[in-house]
Structure 1
């Protein structure tokens, strides 16, 4: 098995994703719903990565190296139109993280993202969205003290510090909330049902 070429392929998927994201930021198209072109790229990347995983198992650090392992996580994290794939990968990533073959922080982010899409409280407070006041805030989480304890265990800063950092990055990238927040939330809920996150 040529893990080197597989690693390169996974990194290429990640780079295509980030290039499109940068382009959407430049064109001020990121905050207003799930961009069609981005959704298509995320679905394509998920299909390619799923085929890779079916061939080699989870792309762990020891198989493909740290860069490709992190790239695989980013592709998974962005494959939001594929609930079954994300859940399958979460289980595989958990096993890999427990064996120190993948990053526990990546597992925290993926766990939270799935929870948010399933309309459940997140455990680590890693997922943010625009709130009713037009500010980026953490999606629902269970308990601030517990969240910060869990974050500390895996080497993350506090949720308060993370919130400040996320808001600064959004400002630096000139990101802004959707023009009609209520409409965006309604569209998001319809999309969640359509792709199978909720019934």
Structure 2
């Protein structure tokens, strides 16, 4: 395992999450537009990930460990201003899943995000929006009847279970808001 590379990727993920929380806490997020500081960080991280991929291939578990592989996934998941790069990484993740070098949910989330950003229906049901009342609802899903089979193949729980988890999280968030008001 390349510990230095793993540490670098995990550091990129930590910086991403720190800035995200900082912007939420300051009230700058959510926003109708891509926050310029968040966009700049995402683009910087994506550029570095491209260099890493160019040198090493996809940074999977065998190269950077589980946390490093998760960090690489997060970087590409947040590379929304470079859809072509994201789509290329879907193929790399498919190969990595086939050789059991990343966990399947990473492929599901990235592939669905790329499909949604491309104007297509998602395949695994990982991407959610809010309905008119603010409750989570999945973006359209291709071949809805078999989505739970696809989710199970990549280690995800059923769409119904995920929707219930997200709904419960929203209930708790709303209860916390009411308590502090």
Partner of residue 27, structure 1: 26
Aligned positions of 1:101-180 closer than 5 A: 101-170=101-170, 172=172
* CA deviation after TM superposition for structure 1 residue 172, in Å: 4.5
**Structure 1 runs not aligned, ≥5 long:** 175-199
Say which SS state the counterpart of residue 100 (structure 1) adopts: coil
**Distance between the aligned counterparts of 1:5 and 1:36, measured in 2?**
29
| Conserved 8 A contact 1:3-1:63 | yes
Partner of residue 181, structure 1: none
| Conserved 8 A contact 2:104-2:155 | no
* CA deviation after TM superposition for structure 1 residue 134, in Å: 2.6
Say which SS state the counterpart of residue 137 (structure 2) adopts: strand
TM-score, normalization by structure 2: 0.88
Taking only aligned residues, the RMSD between alpha carbons, in angstroms, comes to 1.8
- 1:37/1:168 CA distance change after superposition, 3 Å: farther
**Distance between the aligned counterparts of 1:7 and 1:119, measured in 2?**
33
Partner of residue 8, structure 1: 7
Q: Does 1:97 align with 2:112?
A: no
TM-score, normalization by structure 1: 0.80
- 1:110/1:45 CA distance change after superposition, 3 Å: same
Say which SS state the counterpart of residue 129 (structure 2) adopts: strand
How many equivalent pairs are there?
173
Partner of residue 68, structure 1: 68
**Distance between the aligned counterparts of 1:170 and 1:20, measured in 2?**
22
**Distance between the aligned counterparts of 2:28 and 2:149, measured in 1?**
36
* CA deviation after TM superposition for structure 1 residue 11, in Å: 0.6
- 1:149/1:3 CA distance change after superposition, 3 Å: same
| Conserved 8 A contact 2:135-2:170 | no
The answer to which structure, 1 or 2, has the higher relative contact order (CA under 8 A, 6+ apart) is 1
